[in-house]
Structure 1
Amino acid sequence: MGLHKILRIVALVLAIIGAIFALIIIAGDEETAQSMGGNLLYVAYVVLGIVIALVLIFVLKGLFAGNIKKTLMTVGAFLAIIVISYIISSGSDLNLKPFNDKGLGITEAISKNVGAGLYAFYFLAILAIGSMLYGGAKKIFNR
């Protein structure tokens, strides 16, 4: 039995357990929840940890099985976009006084991080739209 089949069975079991717990939570049956050991949140954390571990295993397995140079170039380009977004974000172009008067505690650093995230989103959205247009145009002109 291969690793893929074993992990498919584990994923199926986790999905069934998750569905049962979801139904218990949705139904609001507190007696069943209490009889299962109290807080179902801990069970959710364990299941989430298992799922994240399985995802990491498959990502690392696929990373080393494929073209690692191309993967590292893509990750490097993504990190370059994040760094450029952070550099061009000022963080001081927003009047923070109204937010801080409401007790939100927004600083220039938080504003700079939000701005960097927005710039990164814009850059990545433009790249995604551009690559779709390029692929569509290339398909049309190669016919």
Structure 2
Amino acid sequence: MALHKILKIVALLLSVAGIIFLAMIIAKGDTAIVESGEGVDGFLYVAYITFAITVAFVLLFVIKGIFAGNIKNTLMSVGAFLLIVVISYVLADSNQLPTQDGGMLSESGSKWVGTGLYAFYILAIIAVGSMVFGGIKKVTK
């Protein structure tokens, strides 16, 4: 219960700081902010702190969940994901491509973009397939 109270207080303090910085930005006006960027730094620091706290808690609870649960299943899931990434990397092309600004996308960059796309497609197919399979299994029972 003490952790919950601490988190509520931290969230309240960050909210108040964000509101104060937002009020300062609004009070200065759009032209002053565009010309100097003054007052935006504090607002960004609040966002950075909020992001860091969120990432820290996500990592904490993920690590806690890994050690509390069955580590064998966790390692199998991570291995399956890495296998999908390796398959995606093998399937991806490594062609140099022109970008919109006239530059060229390197072969390595093209390979990794293709890897991400193929991994997304494979994971999407698996997700849709599992939903269809689950629906069919539920209907047949």
Bucket of the pairwise TM-score, normalised by the shorter protein:
0.7 to 0.9
- CA 1:21/1:131 → structure 2, altered by over 3 Å: closer, same or farther? farther
Q: Which runs of 5+ in 2 are unaligned?
A: 34-38
Q: Residue 57 of structure 1: CA displacement?
A: 0.8
After superposition, give the CA deviation of every residue in 1:60-118 in whole Å (9 maximum; x if it has no partner): 111211122111111111111011101111222xx63xx26943331111111111111
- CA 1:122/1:10 → structure 2, altered by over 3 Å: closer, same or farther? farther
1:89/1:112 contact within 8 Å kept:
yes
Q: CA RMSD in A?
A: 3.0
Instruction: Give the TM-score taking structure 1 as reference length.
Output: 0.74
Runs of 4 or more above 4 Å deviation = none
Equivalences for 1:1-143 in 2 at 5 Å?
Answer: 1=1, 3=3, 5-6=4-5, 8-9=7-8, 12-13=11-12, 16-17=15-16, 20=19, 23-24=22-23, 28-30=26-28, 39-40=41-42, 41-92=44-95, 96=97, 99=98, 102-142=101-141
- CA 1:112/1:132 → structure 2, altered by over 3 Å: closer, same or farther? same
Instruction: Give the TM-score taking structure 2 as reference length.
Output: 0.75
For CA contacts below 8 A with separation 6 or more, give which structure has more relative contact order.
Answer: 1
Q: How many residues are paired up?
A: 132
Q: Percent identity?
A: 47
